[in-house]
Amino acid sequence: MDLNNAYAFYYVSKYQNFSKAAEELYISQGGVSLRIKRLEEELGIELIKRSSRKMELTEAGRLLLEQVENFMESVPNIVNSIKKIKEASGRRSIVIGMHHRFGEEFIKPFFSKFKQQFDHVRLHYDSRENLFRALKEEKVNFIISTTPYRPNMELAIEKVGESAISLVAKDDLEKLGSYDLLYMDLMSFPVEKVEEVVNFLSVKPKRIESFDGGLELFKESLISGKSAVIIQEGNVKKEIAEGKIKIIKQLEILDVHVFYIPKNQDNDEIITSLDIISNKI
């Protein structure tokens, strides 16, 4: 079972509301609906009865919710046990959460300094909803992301740079001819903005589709010329540098932030990390 789909089911059941579940997961409401659909398809049974007035769990849905709740309740104990092992070892370590290659490219210039300051440095790659969940559960020390602040989670935020969202493709769209347009499901660049981009294109795509998975899932299509993609440039910096793809149009500049739990603002790991990224060390 895909845990992302299970988490979506848990929060929809908890709030009895797809919109609130989307806020909790840092994805669109449509993304939540898609994950519930995938979970039902995987299990081969309806989990939620939907109507215009209310939603209701089926018998299978209630059984699944009971099991998922047991798992969610066990997560804090697991995390605390691991933290105690780390503290007993006396090693100074840091876990940095980031979204796929974007974070990797951003942290690369500072990585040697992190290795000098910490006994162990681990880069934790995941989707943005899993990253913020990991931060809430203190599985990571901080997150590097362009995801904007969400009011349902209290966070400390430090701006540390900028990142561009661009339309990229193997070649000019006129040369591609027939192509699909893919876009990352970003809260900072919603579908309304994607529609604005399509309006100015001289060659319209045959299909428009969002993706919320690993980068490798779409790169073959992008490099082969079958698709154009709206994405943060940092995610495809290597491919651009190698000449495999090109920037068709830069669409927007986003602020890059470090997100961490406010109670940890005086934590030595956080202070040292911010000093490294701001070149004070």
pLDDT tens digits along 1-40: 788 888 889 999 998 888 888 888 877 788 888 999 999 9
Grade residue 87 by pLDDT with cuts at 50, 70 and 90.
low
Helix (H) or strand (E) holding 95: strand 93-98
Contact 108, 114 (CB under 8 A): no
Residue range(s) of every CATH 1.10.10.10 domain in the chain: 3-74
If you average pLDDT over every residue of the chain, what do you get? 83
Q: Please, where are the H alpha helices in 99-227? A: 100-107, 111-117, 128-136, 173-176, 191-200, 216-223
Torsion of CA 242, 243, 246, 250, to 10 degrees: 40
Angle, vertex CA 210, rays to CA 101 and CA 216, nearest 5 = 35
What confidence score (pLDDT) does residue 257 get? 87
**CATH tag for 163-255 (out of 3.40.50.720, 3.40.190.10, 3.40.50.300, 3.50.50.60):** 3.40.190.10
What architecture does CATH give domain 82-159+256-277? 3-Layer(aba) Sandwich (3.40)
Q: Return the CATH fold of 3-74.
A: Arc Repressor Mutant, subunit A (1.10.10)
Query: pLDDT tens digits for 193-224?
Result: 888 888 888 889 998 887 655 567 678 888 98
Contact 128, 150 (CB under 8 A): no
Percentage of the chain exceeding pLDDT 70: 87
Which of the given ranges, 146-155, 165-174, 191-200, has the highest pLDDT on average?
Answer: 165-174
What confidence score (pLDDT) does residue 89 get? 60
| HSE of 244, CA atoms in CB hemisphere, 13 A | 11
Cα–Cα distance, 219 to 226 (Å, whole number): 10
Residue range(s) of every CATH 3.40.190.10 domain in the chain: 82-159+256-277, 163-255
Query: pLDDT tens digits for 68-86?
Result: 888 888 877 776 776 666 6
Query: pLDDT tens digits for 33-54?
Result: 899 999 999 999 999 987 767 7
